[in-house]
Amino acid sequence: MKDKNTTYNSKRTSQSVAFWIFRFFSMLVVAILFLILSFIIYKGIGVINWDFITKMPENGMTEGGILPAIIGTLCLVGGSILFAFPIGVLSGIYVNEYAKNGWFIRFVRMMTNNLAGIPSIVFGRFGMALFVNYFKFGTSIIAGSLTLGLMVLPIVIRTTEEALKSIDDSFRHGSYALGASKLETIRRVTLPMAFPNIVTGLVLSIGRVSGETAPILFTAAAYFLPKLPSSITDPVMALPYHLYVLSTSGTDLEASRSMAYGTALVLVVMVLFVNLLANALRKFFSKKVKMN
Amino acid sequence: MYKIEAKDVNLYYGDFHALKGISMSMKPNTVTALIGPSGCGKSTFLRTLNRMNDLIESVKITGLVTVDGEDIYRKNINIDELRKHVGMVFQKPNPFPKSIFENVAYGLRVNGENNRSFIEDKVKESLVQAALWEEVKDKLKKSAFELSGGQQQRLCIARALAISPSVLLMDEPASALDPISTAKIEELIYELKTNYTIVIVTHNMQQAGRVSDHTAFFYMGDLIEYGETKKVFTNPDHTQTQNYITGRFG
Amino acid sequence: MKNTFKRFIERFVEGILFLSGTITTITVLLIVVFLFREGSGLFNNSTMEKGFVLAINKSNPVSKLSSYEIKEIFDGKITSWKQVGGKDQPIQLFHVEDITNYYTEEQIGANFENLPKLLSNVVDSIPNIVAFVPEMYVDKSFKGRVLPEKKLTLKEFFFGREWFPTSQPAAQFGAFSLITGTLWVSLWAILISLPLGLSVAIYMAEIANPKVRNFLKPVIELLAGIPSVVYGFFGLIVIVPTIQRLFDLPVGETALAGSLILAIMALPTIITISEDAIRTTPRAMKEASLALGATHWQTIYKVVLPYSSSGIAAAAILGIGRAIGETMAVLMVTGNAAIIPSSLLEPVRTIPATIAAEMGEAPQGGVHFEALFALGAILFIMTLIINIVVDFISNKKKISKR
């Protein structure tokens, strides 16, 4: 009897110990996020004001605003979305709905996964070699957008694929049995059902694109431009690149520190916003699907 | 003469010989029940009649299947057209996440029908035929998922009827439903017989006995016996049939 | 009629879909082509500055020098010809400017007309000389021997320990220190983040109640979404000075800082993928274990973890992949010294950071440029191997689970 009790107790103790360690680690992770966010918010909040967002930088980057960087980021994000969304969604549809389960489709899937794993700097150089040099676009919005678009393409494809995969086949079969063709079934049944998840994925990839630095280092970004870009063949400033330069090699590191904080805060706010939006959309759509 | 004819149909899932030389013919406006133990091939055979097996890879079919005298496995056939003539109701109700009205109208829209009043009339007609109209006429715009299981299945039947098929294939339509809904569906089948040719797969022998004119007993891919329901159930030709019906196996 | 038209449209759309489906494949192939094309140029070009040659006296038996030897000679570290396979004579360095030690300006000529002849004389007269001179001043009557251009070999690239792309006369492209630097930092990052991430994943999947899980999930997603440059910024401002103070170092930019930041960045990947894997454990299996009297914790480490081990392995490897490829954050906090790391508390440089940092300086099409592409090719291969391994593991799991 006593033996059984001691085994039981020691089992329980080791479980409590283990679980408490896990709890601690989880809190640690939350604490890390909290630390990073609050640090940036605390340091940067003083810098943010209307001027900061709407003015051009002045005085060697130590004063003024970061308007061109904001606009640049918006241009790049817009361009890459334009490229990656249609192609990515169409590709996801093809891979999940059309291709037979042969070696070809496994190969394509593997390629997509590989593309997703390629480091951002390799994309940057590939973009430079292909768009800037070979196609002779030069350092420009279009080169940067295409590079970013390529980078985010596998994410869009994967999200679309997952969304389509999660729809039970019985719906497709029901549609076929009524004489609908494959395309019609996709258009009328599968795609509308997958729509919420696809949109969520799209929103998240927007967040991803706006924060990337390495791909635009050599394809689009310039440190200081006196005026805003006027065509897609112009180089632009961008928020992440701006932050990078401000904190590592600006002309006067200490003085531009405050600008750096402000830029970091703007970036973080963008990410927070995008995440919240994606979550809200997810909740909104899932309610809608249940209703209707 | 015959609405549906199958001659020496063999079907393979890869190497597995699932249907072994099935030959049978069904007259118009009759109900034919396909019975047999699990895995005997009855659902597979049902699906060859509207070529739903095409959706499974590694499937190979030989033999002849005709509907209204036409070979449905011929080269240039329009499969979508075929499926409009040979409708199907599945085991588990699978309405679309749309409104009740839109579910029934789906088949019409997909086949190019645009006329609003025509669609409305057809939807009402189909729901009446499926004995569902009285229960849903005031909530046509509501989601199909708000209906009970039995109602959803009748909705699927209405959906299939809306495109005016001449044949209705039903794959264990009541197996997922409660006894009351089952009774309603069996009643429905009996009434639909006047206008449609029905082939129904069922596990439930009493159901087969109640509802069908002819019964086909499948076992391990072979068609063991096919004849008038009364005869198959009371005086079958084969011992295997006898054993299955009396519950010795399956 | 309407039907055939419909058919045509459908064929057309299917064609477009097919094209889109293959675009990722095309892109990957393109990347491979470009990287390797540019990178291979590295091994076809001489590492010496364009337009310059090395010349020695005709009597000198040495027939070629590696770029490492050239550098050591001109740095004064190799001083005798014997060390490079020649006679036992001290090496005499000679740059083209040194010509004024031997001849006057008038003798050279106002436009250097006589320079080729004079150079030739100098080289011929000093048996133990090695001269680094512009090619254009070496004419047909040159009485010395021009050393053949030494091309970089694969072995030198991979195992050379010095990375000095701008050194004269011969640039050094030894990537060994970069490769080890990359692996070192990533290794420590994984050592930190794997236990941490796995614990959180287990907690979220098995232990936490739904409210806590619903709180944690967005937190993790948020962590995943923070741009790498913001992490780098944070690391620069907070972690680096802290390390500096804590360990009493001259500078806080160390491998440790890099590993810490990378660990944080790899966490979300490891957590989400592991959590998914753990969640797929069939309830029946867990209940069987509990019904036999095992505690929850015992069930976890005896049943759940082994079952999800391939998913967890995939998560770990993907985390490694993320760490290896990370550029910006590492660039900002590791100090960029291209030396082979021996401890965590020294500056170090990784491959992606090198590429990012030096890309701006390398002249288009020059050897340095190509060297960076070759580095990129290495990086690409590393991540490719990682991805294939992950694919393989997941597939094996799918097959065995059937």
ipTM for this model: 0.80
Query: Does residue C79 register a pLDDT over 60?
Result: yes
Which is nearest to B19 in space by CA: B2, B34, B33? B34
What are the residue ranges spanned by the domains of chain B?
4-245
CA distance A118 to chain C (A): 6
- Which subunits sit against B, judged by 3+ Cβ pairs under 8 A? A
CATH fold group of domain B4-245: Rossmann fold (3.40.50)
Against chain A, the chains showing at least 3 CB pairs within 8 Å are B, C
Q: pLDDT at residue B46 above 90?
A: yes
B120 vs B250: which has the higher pLDDT: B120
On chain A, the residues whose CB falls within 8 A of the CB of C218 are 275, 279
| pLDDT recorded at residue C331 | 79
Q: Which of C17, C321, C388 sits opposite A94 (nearest CB)?
A: C17
Q: Are residues C24 and C141 part of one domain?
A: no
Residue B198: band (very low, low, confident or very high) from pLDDT cuts 50, 70, 90: very high
Give residue C398's pLDDT band: very low, low, confident or very high (50, 70, 90). Answer: low
Rounded to the nearest integer, the mean pLDDT of chain A is: 79
pLDDT digits (tens, 9 = 90+) for C222-239: 888 888 888 888 888 888
Phi and psi at residue B39, to the nearest 5°: 80, 15
Rounded distance between C-alpha atoms, residue A148 and residue B56, angstroms: 39
CATH architecture entry for A61-291: Orthogonal Bundle (1.10)
Structural domain containing residue C63:
52-150
Q: Does residue C302 share a domain with residue C251? A: yes
**Rounded to an integer, what distance in angstroms lies between the CA atom of residue C333 and that of residue C347?**
9
Residues C200 and C132 in one domain: no
User: Tell me: the pLDDT tens digits for A198-213?
Assistant: 887 888 788 878 888 8
Mean pLDDT of chain B: 89
Tell me the average pLDDT of chain C. Answer: 77
**Residue range B49-78: mean pLDDT, rounded:** 88
Query: C306 and C395 share a domain?
Result: yes
Average pLDDT over residues B85-101: 88
Least confident of B242-246, C337-341, C347-351: C337-341
Please tell me which residue, C103 or B41, carries the higher pLDDT value: B41
Highest mean pLDDT of the ranges B201-205, C40-44, C287-291, C370-374 = B201-205
B57 vs A230, residue with greater confidence: B57
- Residue among B81, B83, B103, B146 with most chain A CBs within 10 A, to mutate: B83
Using the predicted structure, report yes or no on whether residue B49 has a pLDDT greater than 80.
Answer: yes
pLDDT of residue C161: 67
How far is the alpha carbon of A275 from chain C, nearest alpha carbon, in Å? 7
Backbone angles phi, psi at C151, to 5 degrees: -90, 155
Structural domain includes residue C391: yes
Query: Which of C66-70, C252-256, C287-291 is least confident?
Result: C66-70
Q: Are residues C66 and C14 in the same domain?
A: no
Look at residue C167 and tell me if it is in a domain.
no
- Judge if C34 and C58 occupy the same domain: no
Give pLDDT tens digits for A74-131.
Answer: 888 888 888 888 888 888 888 888 776 677 777 777 777 778 778 888 888 888 878 8
Closest CA to B193 of B3, B50, B1: B3
The listed range with the strongest mean pLDDT (B24-33, C266-275, C282-291) is B24-33
Domain ranges of chain A: 61-291
* The total number of structural domains that make up chain C: 3
Indicate the DSSP class of residue B74.
S
Residues of C (163-222) whose Cβ lies below 8 Å from A: 196, 199-200, 202-204, 207-208, 216, 218-222
How many percent of chain C have pLDDT more than 70? Answer: 85
B204 burial type by CB count under 10 A (0-12 exposed, 13-18 middle, 19+ buried)? middle
Q: Are residues C389 and C283 in the same domain?
A: yes
Lowest mean pLDDT across B168-182, B233-247, C152-166: C152-166
Q: Given a cut of 60, is residue A290 above it in pLDDT?
A: no
Give the pLDDT confidence score for residue B29 in this predicted structure.
92
Closest CA to C71 of C174, C158, C167: C167
Q: pTM of this prediction? A: 0.76
Q: Is the pLDDT of residue A250 over 60?
A: no
Q: Kindly determine whether residue A26 and residue C10, on different chains, have CB atoms separated by under 8 Å.
A: no
* In-domain check, residue C387: yes
Output the pLDDT for position B127.
Answer: 92
C194 and C145 within one domain? no
Question: How high is the pLDDT of residue C368?
Answer: 75
